[in-house]
Amino acid sequence: MTPAQDVICAAGLAKYYTREVRSTALMGDLLRGRSQALGFEALAPLDFTVRRGECFGVIGRNGSGKSTLLKLLCGILQPSRGSVVLAGRALGLIELGAGFHPDFTGRENARINALLQGLDADGIALRMPLIEAFADIGAYFDRPVRTYSSGMYARLGFAVMVHVDADILVVDEILSVGDAAFQRKCARQIRRFRDEGGTVVLVSHNVDDVSRLCDRTLWLDQGKMRATGPAAEVAAAYQRHMLGRYYMPGTEIEPPAARSTVRPAVPSRPQAQDWQGRMIMRQGPFNLRATGHGHGGAVLTDAGFYTACGARAEVLAGGASVVLRIRCRAERALHAPILGFMFRDENGRNLFGDNTYLTTANAPRQVPAGQVIEAQFHFDLPFLPVGKYTLAPSVIEGTQEDHIHLHWVENAVALHVVESPVEIGLVGVPMKEIG
More confident residue, 91 or 198: 198
Whether residue 137 contacts residue 160, with contact meaning beta carbons closer than 8 Å, is answered with no
Q: Reply yes or no on whether the pLDDT at 248 is more than 50.
A: no
Pair 296, 376 in one domain: yes
pLDDT at 250: 44
Q: Reply yes or no on whether the pLDDT at 50 is more than 50.
A: yes
More confident residue, 284 or 210: 284
Dist CA 105 CA 123 (whole Å): 19
Whether residue 409 contacts residue 309, with contact meaning beta carbons closer than 8 Å, is answered with no
Residue 380 falls within a domain, yes or no? yes
Q: DSSP 3-state assignment of 320?
A: coil
pLDDT at 331: 94
Q: Reply yes or no on whether the pLDDT at 151 is more than 80.
A: no
Mean of pLDDT values over 367-380: 93
Dist CA 421 CA 190 (whole Å): 34
129 pLDDT tier (thresholds 50, 70, 90): very high
More confident residue, 181 or 250: 181
Sequential DSSP letters for 87-156: SS-EEEE-STTTT--TTSBHHHHHHHHHHHTT--HHHHHHHHHHHHHHH--GGGGGSBGGG--HHHHHHH
pLDDT at 275: 67
Q: DSSP 3-state assignment of 430?
A: coil
Pair 80, 210 in one domain: yes
Residue 430 falls within a domain, yes or no? no
Q: Which of 78-82, 158-162, 308-312 has the highest mean pLDDT?
A: 78-82
Mean of pLDDT values over 325-345: 93
Residue 156 falls within a domain, yes or no? no
272-327 residue pLDDT tens: 556 666 788 999 999 988 877 788 899 999 999 998 778 899 999 888 889 999 99
162 pLDDT tier (thresholds 50, 70, 90): confident
Please, what is the end-to-end C-alpha distance for the chain in angstroms?
Answer: 51
**Count of the separate structural domains present in the chain:** 2
Residue 360 falls within a domain, yes or no? yes
Pair 207, 294 in one domain: no
Pair 295, 391 in one domain: yes
Pair 84, 226 in one domain: yes
pLDDT at 118: 81
Q: Whole domain around residue 18: which residue ranges? A: 3-88+167-258
More confident residue, 88 or 264: 88
Mean of pLDDT values over 246-266: 44
Q: Nearest 10 degrees: CA dihedral of 275, 278, 284, 290?
A: -50
Pair 325, 415 in one domain: yes
Pair 199, 346 in one domain: no
Q: Reply yes or no on whether the pLDDT at 161 is more than 70.
A: yes
Whether residue 112 contacts residue 149, with contact meaning beta carbons closer than 8 Å, is answered with no
Mean of pLDDT values over 198-223: 86
Q: How many CA atoms lie within 13 A of 231 on its CB side?
A: 21
393 pLDDT tier (thresholds 50, 70, 90): very high
Q: Whole-number mean pLDDT of the chain?
A: 81
Residue closest to 372 by CA, chosen among 304, 298, 435, 316: 298
More confident residue, 242 or 388: 388
239 pLDDT tier (thresholds 50, 70, 90): confident
Please provide residue 430's backbone torsions phi and psi, each rounded to the nearest 5 degrees.
-70, 125
Pair 229, 180 in one domain: yes
Beta carbons within 8 Å of 81's beta carbon, 6+ residues apart:
12, 13, 14, 16, 45
Whether residue 326 contacts residue 343, with contact meaning beta carbons closer than 8 Å, is answered with no
pLDDT at 126: 92
Pair 180, 309 in one domain: no
pLDDT at 58: 93
Pairing of strands 216-221, 55-59: parallel
pLDDT at 38: 54
Q: Reply yes or no on whether the pLDDT at 246 is more than 50.
A: no
Residue 148 falls within a domain, yes or no? no
pLDDT at 232: 85
pLDDT at 175: 58
215-238 residue pLDDT tens: 999 999 989 999 999 998 898 888
Q: What angle do CA 362, 366, 369 make, to 5 degrees?
A: 155
Q: Reply yes or no on whether the pLDDT at 251 is more than 80.
A: no
Pair 254, 285 in one domain: no
More confident residue, 194 or 278: 194
pLDDT at 295: 85
More confident residue, 149 or 380: 380
Q: Reply yes or no on whether the pLDDT at 256 is more than 70.
A: no
pLDDT at 345: 87
Q: DSSP 3-state assignment of 361?
A: coil
Q: Nearest 10 degrees: CA dihedral of 66, 67, 71, 74?
A: 70
Mean of pLDDT values over 410-426: 87
For the four alpha carbons of 73, 76, 82 and 85, in that order, the dihedral sign comes to positive
Whether residue 106 contacts residue 143, with contact meaning beta carbons closer than 8 Å, is answered with yes
Whether residue 163 contacts residue 93, with contact meaning beta carbons closer than 8 Å, is answered with no
Residue 111 falls within a domain, yes or no? no
Pair 307, 408 in one domain: yes
Dist CA 14 CA 26 (whole Å): 35
Beta bridge partners of 281: 316, 417
Pair 306, 176 in one domain: no
174 pLDDT tier (thresholds 50, 70, 90): low
Mean of pLDDT values over 170-196: 76
Residue 193 falls within a domain, yes or no? yes
pLDDT at 265: 44
pLDDT at 186: 82
CATH of the domain at 246: 3.40.50.300
253 pLDDT tier (thresholds 50, 70, 90): very low
User: What angle separates helix 180-195 from helix 150-161, to the nearest 10 degrees?
Assistant: 20
Residue 26 falls within a domain, yes or no? yes
